[in-house]
Each structure stands twice: as structure tokens, then as C-alpha cells.
Amino acid sequence: MAYNACNAIFLRCDADLSAAEAHGLATGMLCVSDQTESTYWLAELLQNATQVLSNDNDILIRLFEETRRLLASNEFDFDLFLPDDDVALTDRVEALTNWCRGFLFGVGSVATVTNWSKDTREILKDITEFTKLDTEVEGEEDERDFVEITEFLRSAILLLRDELANNSDSSNDLWREDHETN
């Protein structure tokens, strides 16, 4: 799925967020509860947006469901949905900070239990720090740092998925009851 195509959807409907942030939100929600429905995600994303075309809605649902599939896979195929490498590094770093913001919001929007392990709290703290990255970057060293951070996040998200899902298994029924009525 092309980043630019998804990002264009958010621009068209004036949603005031990027495809990276939307993917981070989906990832955070799905890490806490793999029972999260795409309709709940879309409602969170598009609450202040103008009308979304049916075809665009279908594309967004595919993004959400593909994220669910990749997170559940044991193949380590999950990746952050960010602009391609041919996009300026400053734009990719900005997208990464937006992805992290979306992820944290997604976790917070569905988490009903917060007695997480020290490792989980540390990873969430790191992700919070990534929302503050300096976007004025250039050169090979900054490129290497960007790659290192994205690789860290890929691994950390899969660890968080296991930790958060296990921690919230007992609350999944409560979450479903609470959100199905909304």
C-alpha cells in the first residue's frame, strides 16, 4: 500500500493528520487489543474530517486490516508506515514523530489496564521521546540514526504487542462491551 496514496486521503478529507499518524494509531490500538474494529479506528481518525469517499474508506480499512495481519504474523513482517526512502529525511523524521504520537494515542485510547512491566513502561517512554525528535536533519549520520530508530521501533512494537495484549486479555471483553455501544 503506497504511503502517498493514503496520505492523500487525509489531505482530501481535511483530517489534520498524516498516514503515518493514522498507522501509528491503528498499531497502538491493535497492540492493546487485537479485537479493535476498523470502524472504531476510523471514527477516531475522521472525527473532525469532511466526507470520506467510499473508495478512500475501503483503502483505509485495508490499511487497518493489513496492520492487524502483520502484527499477528510470526514472520516479523510488520513495519512502520512511513514515506519511502526517496523522500527527504526531514519529512521522514517528521512522519516518524507523527507515527509515534499516533501510536501513543492508540494505546491510550483502548488500554483499560496500565499495570505494565518495567520494560513496557521503558519502551513507551522511549516512544514518547521519539515524538520530540529534531526534524532538522541531514547527512549520512542522521540517516543511520533514523534507520536505527525505525528498526528499534519495529522490534519494540512486536514486544509491546505481546506484553500489552497479554496484560489486557482479561479486559478485552470489557473493551468490546464499552466500544461496541459507541
Note the helical H segments in the chain: 3-12, 19-32, 38-45, 54-72, 89-110, 118-130, 139-168, 172-180
pLDDT of residue 88: 94
Length, in residues, of the chain? 182
Q: Residue 52: pLDDT band by 50, 70, 90 thresholds?
A: confident
pLDDT of residue 6: 92
Containing structural domain, residue 82: 3-180
Q: How many CB atoms lie under 10 A from the CB of residue 169? A: 12
Percent of the chain exceeding pLDDT 70 equals 90
* Number of independent structural domains in the chain: 1
Compute the average pLDDT of residues 16-30.
94
Q: Is there a contact between 103 and 24 (Cβ–Cβ < 8 Å)?
A: yes
Compute the average pLDDT of residues 49-74.
89
CATH code of the domain in which 61 resides:
1.20.120.740
Q: Check pLDDT > 60 for residue 49.
A: yes
